[in-house]
A and B are shown apart, each in its own frame.
Chain A
Amino acid sequence: MELPLEYFIKLRNLIYERTGISYEENKIYYVKKRLQQRMQAGGFEDIEEYIKYLKLFDGNGREFQELINLLTVNETYFFREFNQLQLFAEDCLDEVVEAKRRTGGSTIKILCAGCSTGEEAYTLAIIVREMLEDFRRWSVLIKAIDIDENVLARARKGIYDSRSVKDVPPAYLKRYFAQPQSGEYVIRPEAKELVLFEHHNLMDRRALRNEEGYDFVFCRNVLIYFDEVSRKQVVDRFYSLMNPGGFIFLGHSESLSRISSAFKIRRINEHLVYQR
């Protein structure tokens, strides 16, 4: 199948406008392969026809969503998107903590939305423990939420395989994971006790209305599965439960600008961050 650059760019722009996800040019094969699948499934002969369909005839956005589902990678593991976590650990966390020290605050609250089997939540627990020198005087809560009871159950158990921990820095692997048998990694209490898993449906407007005081919200590679209207409602909800000066993190290829302008944009160490 032909994918002339011009059409790759058109498709890329369409995806960006509607979801905020962007694909770099070196992803052309990645996109092409999945595009081909959708086109075959729908009986589309050429890319021009397919894009026209997406733009003008895909009324309920179903085909578009199928394409997006195919394009987005669905895996989860510890320390995923390391650069962003580094930014959180070394800059954002520091800023929030310093501000709280000055005003006598002693709690840190993090929301991990769409937590799935818990890798991200535990990752954040490890980072916070490692980065706070005077850890004992802080009350840390990482609330990890998901709509799927099955994944929450697995998250609460905290047992993982070697694929999940492949990116964990060796020192942390030793410190925070027990290895009862080969290939099995169990998260230790030092990290586990910071995380509270709860069942919530982000689409429910009443969900999380009583939550407040969060310094950080992580919602990475989750919103891509929502439609435009729901995505906006969820982000607005996050805004309402955050402290001023709190940071919100989406997946590194997701753009908050397509969803909300209520947050303030900043550049820290060559990265873009959004702050309430």
Chain B
Amino acid sequence: MAGKVLIVDDSEMVRNFHSYIVKSLGLEIITAVDGADALEKIYGSDDEILFCITDINMPHMDGYTLIERLRDDPTYEDMPIIIVSTEDEMKDKQRGFEAGANLYLVKPTEPDDLLLNIKMLLGK
């Protein structure tokens, strides 16, 4: 599958971890350290971004704001987005839904769980 997956998290460890999981699907990845960096990577990418896995709490720009800005742009309003966050209350998930995320997973993700969710999201 052409295109890349964007992984957004301010923790290098988590970025790496999610990267390893996604790479096991044979997909290529791009990483970003926060929401603002993510926007630059998305708009600056010559490749299609297949989907995005993002944290919520990050410096410069949080995950909700990232998602809202993407959804404001017709070009990216359909990009599949998975939130992976430590926060697990209903109000956080509700916020994620309102921002426009497709899925919300709680950290630390079980690798198989993340993989399954990705497959369901991409429809394969």
Q: Which residues of chain A have a CB within 8 Å of any CB of chain B? A: 17, 255, 257-258, 261, 264-267, 270, 272
Contact = CB atoms under 8 A, between A and B. Distances in A.
Interface of B: 33, 35-37, 39-40, 43-44, 46, 60-61, 65, 69
B33 A17 contact: yes
Contacts of B43: 265-267, 272
A267 B44 contact: yes
B52 to A, nearest CB: 15
Given A17-B33, A267-B43, A267-B44, 9 more contacts: A255-B40, A257-B36, A261-B35, A261-B65, A264-B69, A265-B40, A265-B43, A265-B69, A272-B44
Q: What 7 pairs between A and B have smallest CB-CB spacing? A: A257-B36, A267-B43, A257-B40, A261-B61, A265-B39, A261-B36, A265-B43
A236 to B, nearest CB: 14
A254 to B, nearest CB: 11
A258 B32 CA distance: 12
Contacts of A270: 46
- Dominant secondary structure at the B interface: helix
B44 A257 contact: no
Contacts of B60: 257-258, 261
A2 B103 CA distance: 45
Nearest to B61: A261
B44 A258 contact: no
Which of A265, A266, A270 has the most chain B CB atoms inside 10 A of its CB? A265
Contact of B37 (A257, A264, A267): A257
Contacts of A272: 40, 43-44
Contacts of A17: 33
Contacts of B37: 257-258
A265 B35 CA distance: 12
Which of B39, B40, B46 has the most chain A CB atoms inside 10 A of its CB? B40
Nearest to A273: B43
A205 B93 CA distance: 41
A193 to B, nearest CB: 37
Nearest to A266: B43
Contacts of B33: 17
B46 A257 contact: no
A21 B40 CA distance: 13
A264 B65 CA distance: 12
A88 B61 CA distance: 27
A270 B33 CA distance: 22
Contacts of A258: 36-37, 60
B73 to A, nearest CB: 9
A249 B59 CA distance: 23
A105 to B, nearest CB: 26
Nearest to A255: B40
A270 B65 CA distance: 24
A255 B43 CA distance: 13
A17 B36 CA distance: 12
Nearest to A270: B46
A257 B33 CA distance: 11
A264 B60 CA distance: 14
Nearest to B45: A267
A107 to B, nearest CB: 29
A266 B73 CA distance: 9
Which of B35, B37, B65 has the most chain A CB atoms inside 10 A of its CB? B37
A220 B33 CA distance: 24
A261 B33 CA distance: 14
A257 B43 CA distance: 12
A204 B43 CA distance: 34
Contacts of B35: 261
